Amino acid sequence: MKVVTVVGARPQFVKMAPVSRVLRGYFDEIVIHTGQHYDYEMNRVFFEQLNIPEPDYYLGVGSGTHGYQTGEMLKRIEGVLVKEKPDLVLVYGDTNSTLAGALAAVKLHIKVAHVEAGLRSFDRRMPEEVNRVLTDHVSDYLFAPTETAVKNLHNEGIKEGVYLTGDVMYDALLYNIEIARKNSKILKELGLRPKSYLLATVHRAENTDDKDRLESIVSAFVESGEEIVFPVHPRTVKFLRVYGLYEGLERADNVILTKPVGYLDMLMLEKNAKKILTDSGGVQKEAYFLKVPCITLRERTEWVETVEDGWNVLVGADKEKILRAVREFEPSGETYTYKFGDGRASEKIAEVIKNVDR
C-alpha cells in the first residue's frame, strides 16, 4: 500500500503529525508539501517540534490568488501522482492545499481520504467552506471528527465511506501537552504570569480583508486594557500595514505583538491564558480541550460543540461585543471532550486505511 499525503499550511502540519506517526508503522507514506506556507515560523518549526517526516516533494507554490495558488498546486501535485502511482491520497482540513490534493487525485482515479470531513459553517463566502464541501464530495473515505460532522455529510447525501474517528488535533494535543510543559519557555520569555493575560489570533480572510472589521477587532484589543499576547499571522501583518493599523498596535502598552509561535509555545500560551480571542478553527478547539474560555471573532463556527457546551461565544468583529465578552464571558458548563474522540483518532484512521481495496 502506498499512501501520498498532501499538506501545505500550518494547521495541516499539526493534523498530520499523529496520523503519520501511526501510518508509518504500516505503510510507505510519501509526503507532498505544496509550499502554501513557507516562513520558518509557519512551516519548518512544526516539522522540527512535531517530528514530522521531511516532505518527499516540496512544490514551492507559495502565495497568490485562490485561482493561481490552487491551479499551480493542482498541476504540480498531478505530476507527482502520475509518477508515484499511489493507492490513496490523504488530505487534511479545508485549505487550498486540501482541495488541490483531492482534485488532482480524483481526476486520476486515485482514491481520496479526507481527514476532518463533514465540517460546515454554512457560509459559502468563507474559502474554507468551499474547500471542505468540494473535497468531501470527491472523497472515498471521509474521517469525521464529530457526530455533527457525520450528520452534515448525511444531510448532503454522503453516507458511504463515512467514519466517525474523533479529532486528530485532540490526539496531537494530548501527545504534546507534557512535552510543551517541559520544553516551552515562552511565558518566561514574554514575562507572563499564568491566567493574567489574554491570547489572541486573527487571520481569517473575512476579518483581515475588511478594514472595518480588522480595525474594530484591534481597537477592542487596545481598549480592553487587558494584557493581550497577539502572535500575528503574516496575512494579518500585511493587512494591518496596508490599513495603517500596525503602528498603533505596536505602541499600545497592553498588547504584546509577536511573530507566529511554534506549536509547543502555542499550547503553553493557550493553557495559561485567562481567555482566548480567535477566528482560528484549530485554536477554538484547543481552547475547549484545555478548558480556557474562548471568544470567537466570527459570526459562525463549524465547531458547534464548543459553543453548545458554553465554552465558546461568537462575537464577530463587533467591538462592543468583544469588550463585553472580555469582561463578562464565563463558561457555563463542563467540557465534554469525548465529543472529539478518545485521543486515538489517528489509530482509527490507520485501521480503515489498512483495509482500503487496492
Please count the residues of the chain.
358
Distance from C-alpha of 250 to C-alpha of 220, rounded to nearest angstrom: 14
Rounded (5°) CA angle 81-129-163: 65
Residues numbered 180 to 239 that lie near ligand UDP (CB under 6 A) are 201, 231
278 is a site residue for ligand UD1 (CB under 6 A): no
Q: Residue 83 CB, nearest distance to ligand UDP (Å)?
A: 30
CA distances from 36 to 19, 95, 100, 227, 234 (A): 21, 9, 11, 32, 12
Rounded (5°) CA angle 158-164-166: 135
Q: Residue 16 CB, nearest distance to ligand UDP (Å)?
A: 12
Please name the amino acid found at residue 271.
Answer: K
205 within 8 A of 234, measured Cβ to Cβ: no
Q: Residue 206 CB, nearest distance to ligand UDP (Å)?
A: 12
Does residue 203 carry a catalytic annotation?
A: yes
Where do runs of H (alpha helix) occur along 24-112? Answer: 44-49, 66-84, 96-107
Query: Looking at 137, 238, 259, 324, which residue binds ligand UD1 (CB under 6 A)?
Result: 238
Longest dimension (CA), the chain: 60
The residue range among 96-104, 153-161, 258-266, 300-308 that interacts with ligand UDP, by the rule CB under 6 A, is 258-266
Residues numbered 186 to 225 that lie near ligand UD1 (CB under 6 A) are 203
132 is a site residue for ligand UD1 (CB under 6 A): no
346 is a site residue for ligand UDP (CB under 6 A): no
Positions marked active-site = 203
Q: Which residues bind ligand UDP (CB under 6 A)?
A: 10-11, 14, 201, 231, 260-263, 266, 280-283, 286
Q: Which residues bind ligand UD1 (CB under 6 A)?
A: 9-11, 36-39, 42, 63, 94-96, 127-128, 203, 234-235, 238
